[in-house]
Chain A
Amino acid sequence: MRLAHCWILSVGVACLSVVCLRPQTSLGSDVYELAKRIDRHIDARLRSEEITPTDFVDHAAFLRRVTLDLAGRIPTQSELDDYLNAEPRDRKQRLVKRLIESPDFAYHQRNQLDILLLLRQEHNDKWREYLLEATRDNRPWDRLFREIMLPEESPSSDPRPVAFLKRRTNDLDAMTNDSSVTWFGVNVACAKCHDHPLVSDWTQAHYYGMAAFFQRTFQTRKGFIGERFDGRPKFTDENGEQQEAEFMFLTGTKVADPPLEFSEEELKQLNEQIKQAERDDKAEVPPRPDFRPRARLVELALSDDQQQFFARNITNRIWARFFGRGIVHPLDQMHSENPPSHPELLSELSDDLRESGYDLRRLIHAIVLSEPYARSVERASDAAPMPPELFAAAVPRPLSPRQLALSLRMVSIGPEKMLQWQSNEWEKQREQLERQADGLARSLVIPDDDEFQVPVSEALWFSNNQTIENDILNGSGDRLVGYLKTLESDSQLVSVAVKVILSREADDEETQAMATYLRSRTDRREQAIKQILWSLLGSPEFRFNH
């Protein structure tokens, strides 16, 4: 915060032009100032390393990039035209604000959180509904954490946040490690059998300390999550000695295990009751213990002096979503031997996130307004490749299965119909598109955090599957192919096709190549149109966000 003030004093004049557009937020500096702080930290490092970053992308490219990132789909032709023709002053700021406040943002944010939290393991409609509700009202991240990790505290009518734990209740290792990775950016699995061989931060005591918080969690046959009254993991340490784990968070802070208030006999009965409920869906739900380790973990992880893992993890994960890599990278390796590339930036952003009440929308808003976000991708040159951790250039990022499936659906719609949808009940159409995209999205590979490889099955699908031919490239009247059929000029046809699919103007060489292709197929014009659309859809320019 203090640093930001210094900056405002020094270049205060430069930012006067945007003052009138500042969105008001409850706490701290506004998002424009936050964006400038990002610029400053990234710039400082580039300067000290004497690296010249790439240029900024042009307006059309920025529109495509930010629409994919905020709305989870490519822009429509009319969005492209509007943006290119908009009053130049502050058009970027207005665009970002519009997108972030649009219904699309909630859908996309939901889809992203679904991948993060269920780790590509299942498709669950109720859970997706729950997440959508949460992203619509921009529910704070700490509240989501609480709801998802303590689903038994939700009103009984709303069992939906249970999916995260439910998936993992019969596998303590998965519950321990997935929770640590997802919420705290720490992969402790390596420390299960021995102290972490490479990272001195993580010992067996950390692994089993985290596992202890989850060991008592069980699931009833009816699907309720509960906690047992006793039990902590036992393990053999490196000296071959048997140990009983203590409740211990990643920071090393421990929680005492209070003495049981029950007699052996009562405890036996309670445990019997729990066993019954695990087996029998008619059995009564056992009572909740007063001391619940999982609830204590949530409390501890959000307490003032322990929050750093929680806040830094989500900040880093959000950052990585927009830049293709984290400030700490890989994302699950937050420890002293894998320092952040920009430590101060990570601290400031995560502090700001905490102070804003874990307002993810604000963080995202600032990131997409920052300068490094608007840089173009790196092209080969004589210079040495830029170290990726400097964020001197954009990295082409593969579309997520859902971004790709939605974009394909969007492309298939004719521009006139799309315009009609956009001016009327767009949200309903978006919901519809989401459903239509389900099947395809599930059959595509979810990109890893690291280097993604397009499988050949995808290229075969694009080349030969009947969905492309019969559905996406369907030639009826209100579809793109149907619309293009009505255009007489080839260059106009190519121009619309390139705008709709690649969100930019076609250049001369492309126009000429595609027009030639069309001209040599006048006997089968509709097929020729489909073929040029296919060649655009199959281009990496469509497949990646760049």
Chain B
Amino acid sequence: MNQMINRRALLRAAGATAVVSNMAAIDALSQPSFASELARGEKSVILLWLAGGASQLETWDPKPGRLTGGPFSKIQTCIPGVEISELLPKMSTRLDETAIIRSLNTKIGDHGQAYELMDRGRVGEPGVRFPHLGAIISHELGQIDSRVPDYVSMYTSTEGRRQGSAGFLGARYNPMFLTEKMMPENIGRHDAISQVDHQDRAALRDFLAKRFVRDLKNPSVHSHENAYERVHGLMACDYLFDIDKEPQSMRDHYGPTQFGQQCLIARRLVEAGVPFVKVARAWWDSHGQNFETHQELCADLDQCMSALLDDLKQRGLLEKTLVITLGEFGRTPQINGSLGRDHFANAWSCTLSGCGIRGGVVHGKTDEDGQSVVEGEMNAGDLFATIFAALGIEHDKEYMVGSRPVPLSDFGSTPCREVLA
């Protein structure tokens, strides 16, 4: 609790002095002793989810000049020999901490099934409720009595809203899900009860509950108590979702879009020790007007992702925060009659940045039109294995579901060593 109060006081101070000296406040936050106290030395993941499927050709794997290349050109990045789409100029100067994977072949081109595949790293099976990435990470990296959420999920619009399930890991690892508002539901105290009564009431509940729970060996009953123990800690986290606490210059850096604001919240959350944050950005499903769509959305992605990486780096958080930029699939090289690109899962791209990643690396290669992977092919399981390896989690560790062993990443998957630090 003391940490919370310190931190709140400090943030309040940071807000007050914003006009005078933003950098000083930021420096204060990034002082090693204070930062480590806040982040508890834990690793975190921020998943930037491009819902609907972004085009690899307008982002990480451009093919200008080819029949299927589209109107945009490519630009040289800060890494010699590596070129990306001109739609990502900011990112082109910030690839030092980022690895590009251009060789995903995940085969499934239907939104629902592809979402499940890229969310769980394996094809579903009836009768087994596989957990999704966020639940696995929060299970592996979270702390049982954490005062912050284990897993926060935000989205901009219906397309990104799929909630996923913690499956057999249990409801303890369900996300705290932000719907329309930028604040989690039921995190704020009801007006009808004062702060003091809210806490006293909880103390009375604890007293009654303990008399019942006493000597009881049942884990479900204990999970109930654990959930109530976390309530006040989580309520005290409300400030993490309040970006008014950030200096205006910091907010400008992330930009005015909802995606930008949520990325900023994501940084605040991982800074406070939340192990997994998902920010979904919708409307990438550009069956028509692919190029206008990407012009607009890539600008948003470019600004938010680069701001996030800068910010994390400045605070010394990037080395323990893995940023994943991924969707359910890519888009066809063929351009359809509506100047759109359709679903395409055979040769597409994603990026991994920060924690455990060797920056500046490009893994894999597609053919000159981007129709197929010609080098370094990876499937969803391999990507998951790579993610776990980057975080120092054994990818082939097994969960037991009844008598059946289920490895963290699918059977037969291997981490891509080339992108690992």
Question: B-contacting residues of A (Cβ < 8 Å)?
Answer: 171, 173-174, 176-178, 181, 187, 189-190, 192, 198, 330, 332-333, 338, 377-381, 385, 395-396, 398, 445, 447-448, 451-461, 463-466, 469, 509-510, 513-514, 517, 521, 527, 531-532, 534-536, 538-541, 543-544
Contact = CB atoms under 8 A, between A and B. Distances in A.
Interface stretch (B209-217, B291-299, B348-356, B360-368): B209-217
B126 A177 contact: yes
Nearest to A514: B204
Size class of the contact patch on chain B? 35 or more
Interface string B125-143: 1111000000000000000
26 contacts: A187-B127, A378-B217, A379-B215, A380-B217, A381-B215, A385-B217, A395-B218, A398-B220, A451-B170, A456-B176, A457-B186, A463-B202, A464-B188, A465-B185, A465-B186, A466-B190, A514-B204, A531-B197, A531-B201, A535-B205, A535-B207, A535-B208, A539-B209, A540-B213, A540-B221, A540-B225
B204 A532 contact: yes
Contacts of A171: 126
A408 B168 CA distance: 28
A396 B186 contact: no
Interface string B206-245: 0111011111111111011111101100110000000000
A331 B207 CA distance: 37
A509 B214 CA distance: 15
A59 to B, nearest CB: 18
B403 interface: yes
B187 interface: yes
Nearest to A444: B171
B93 to A, nearest CB: 41
A451 B207 contact: no
B224 to A, nearest CB: 4
Contacts of B216: 377-380, 396
B169 to A, nearest CB: 9
**Complex A-B, nearest 6 residue pairs according to Cβ-Cβ distance, in ascending order:** A177-B126, A535-B205, A459-B227, A455-B171, A379-B215, A453-B223
Interface in B389-411: 402-404
Contacts of A521: 197
Contacts of B417: none
Contacts of B253: none
Contact of A453 (B128, B172, B190, B217): B172
B107 interface: no
Which of B193, B200, B201 has the largest number of chain A CB atoms within 10 A? B201
A455 B227 CA distance: 6
A532 B207 CA distance: 11
B343 to A, nearest CB: 18
Contacts of A540: 209, 212-213, 221, 224-225
B230 A456 contact: yes
A535 B192 contact: no
A380 B213 CA distance: 11
A332 B220 contact: no
A380 B230 CA distance: 25
B174 interface: yes
B12 interface: no
A466 B190 CA distance: 7
A456 B234 contact: yes
A26 to B, nearest CB: 36
Contacts of A544: 220-221, 224
B217 A464 contact: no
Which of A178, A330, A453, A541 has the largest number of chain B CB atoms within 10 A? A453
Contact of B227 (A456, A464, A465): A456
Given A451-B220, A454-B220, A544-B221, A539 B201 contact: no
A535 B186 contact: no
Contacts of B66: none
Contact of A463 (B186, B192, B209): B186
Nearest to B175: A457
B211 A534 contact: no
Given A461-B186, A534-B201, A538-B209, A455 B174 contact: yes
A209 B44 CA distance: 46
A333 B215 CA distance: 32
Contact of A539 (B128, B205, B230): B205
B227 A454 contact: yes
B162 interface: no
A398 B171 CA distance: 13
A190 B168 CA distance: 16
A385 B218 CA distance: 11
B404 A177 contact: no
Contacts of A456: 149, 172, 176, 227, 230-231, 234
A539 B208 contact: yes
Contacts of A509: 211
B204 A531 contact: yes
A466 to B, nearest CB: 6
Contacts of B213: 540
B189 interface: yes
Given A178-B126, A456-B231, A464 B204 contact: no
Contact of A541 (B198, B202, B207, B209): B209
A398 B188 CA distance: 26
A298 to B, nearest CB: 20
A174 B205 contact: no
Contacts of A543: 224
Contacts of B127: 177-178, 181, 187, 189, 332
Contact of B231 (A445, A463, A517, A541): A463
Contacts of B218: 377, 395-396
A6 B200 CA distance: 60
Nearest to A176: B126
Given A330-B402, A456-B231, A457-B186, A451 B219 contact: yes
Contacts of B126: 171, 173-174, 176-178, 189
A65 to B, nearest CB: 14
A137 B212 CA distance: 39
Contacts of A463: 186, 198, 202, 228, 231, 235
Given A177-B126, A456-B230, A513 B186 contact: no
A527 B212 contact: no
Nearest to B149: A456
Nearest to A452: B220
A453 to B, nearest CB: 4
Contacts of B207: 513, 535
Contacts of A395: 218
Nearest to B170: A453
Nearest to A174: B126
A453 B225 CA distance: 10
A28 to B, nearest CB: 34
B221 A396 contact: yes
A457 B125 CA distance: 28
Contacts of A535: 201-202, 204-205, 207-208
A333 B402 contact: yes
A534 B230 contact: no
A531 B187 contact: no
A448 B169 CA distance: 11
B186 A510 contact: no
Contacts of A448: 168, 170
Contacts of B186: 457, 460-461, 463-465
Given A189-B125, A396-B218, A531-B197, A459 B171 contact: no
Contacts of B176: 456-457
A109 B171 CA distance: 25
A55 B20 CA distance: 71
Contact of B403 (A174, A198, A378, A454): A198
Contacts of A531: 193, 197, 200-201, 204
A452 B219 CA distance: 8
